[in-house]
A and B are shown apart, each in its own frame.
Chain A
Amino acid sequence: MSAFDDQSQLRGAHLQERIGNTALWTLSLITVLPILGIVIFIIYKGIPGISWEFLTSMPSNGMREGGILPAIIGTFLLTLGCFLFAVPLGIAAGIYMADYAADTPMTRAIRIAIISLAGVPSVVYGLFGLGLFVIFFQMGVSILAAAMTLAIMTLPVVISTTEESLRTVPNAFRVVSISLGATRWQTIRRIIMKEGMPGILTGVILGLERAAVETAPILFTGAAFYLPTLPTSPLDPTMALPYHIYVISTQVPGMPLTIQYATVLVMLTFVLIMNIVATIIRSRARAKRQW
Chain B
Amino acid sequence: MVNPMDIIQIENYYITYADGAESLRKINLRIKTNAINVLFGPAGGGKSTLLRAINRLNDLTDVKEVKGRILFKGKDILDPKLDVTELRRKIGIVFSRPMPLPMTVSQNVSYGLEVAGERDRRKLDEAVEKALRLAFLWDEVYDRLNDPANAISGGQQQRLCMARVLALEPEVIMLDEPTSALDPVSTARIEDLLQDLKAKYTIILVPHNVQQSSRMADHASFFLQSELIETGEGKKLFVAPKDKRTQDYVEGRFG
A–B contact, 8 Å CB criterion (strictly below): yes
Measured CB to CB, the residues of A under 8 A from B are 102-103, 172-183, 186, 190-191, 194-195, 289-291
Q: How many residues of B contact A (CB 8 A)?
A: 27
Contacts of B115 in A (CB 8 A): 177, 180-183, 186, 190
Contacts of A191 in B (CB 8 A): 101-102
Q: Is the interface of A mostly helix, strand, loop or mixed?
A: helix
Q: Please, could you name 30 A-B residue pairs with CB atoms under 8 Å apart, sorted by A?
A: A103-B62, A172-B95, A172-B97, A172-B99, A173-B99, A173-B101, A173-B102, A174-B60, A175-B57, A175-B95, A176-B101, A177-B101, A177-B111, A178-B57, A178-B60, A178-B88, A179-B57, A179-B92, A180-B92, A180-B112, A181-B88, A181-B89, A181-B112, A182-B112, A182-B115, A183-B85, A190-B111, A290-B149, A290-B150, A291-B150
Smallest Cβ-Cβ distance to B161: which chain A residue: A176
* A180–B100 alpha-carbon span in the complex (Å): 12
Measured CB to CB, the residues of B under 8 A from A are 55, 57, 59-60, 62, 85-86, 88-89, 92-93, 95, 97, 99, 101-103, 111-112, 115-116, 148-150, 164-165, 168
* A154–B52 alpha-carbon span in the complex (Å): 41
Whether B102 pairs with A180 at a CB distance below 8 angstroms is: no
Q: What distance in Å separates the Cβ of A160 from its nearest Cβ neighbour in chain B?
A: 24
Given contacts A173-B101, A174-B60, A290-B148, contact A179 B85 (CB under 8 A): no
| 4 extra interface residue pairs, beta carbon distance < 8 Å, beyond A191-B102, A290-B102 | A179-B88, A180-B111, A181-B112, A182-B112
Q: What distance in Å separates the Cβ of B169 from its nearest Cβ neighbour in chain A?
A: 12
Whether B164 pairs with A180 at a CB distance below 8 angstroms is: yes
* A167–B115 alpha-carbon span in the complex (Å): 22
Smallest Cβ-Cβ distance to B104: which chain A residue: A290
Q: What distance in Å separates the Cβ of B59 from its nearest Cβ neighbour in chain A?
A: 8
Contacts of B111 in A (CB 8 A): 177, 180, 182, 190
* A177–B92 alpha-carbon span in the complex (Å): 11
* A181–B86 alpha-carbon span in the complex (Å): 6
Whether B88 pairs with A180 at a CB distance below 8 angstroms is: yes
Smallest Cβ-Cβ distance to A179: which chain B residue: B93
* A190–B14 alpha-carbon span in the complex (Å): 35
Whether A175 pairs with B102 at a CB distance below 8 angstroms is: no
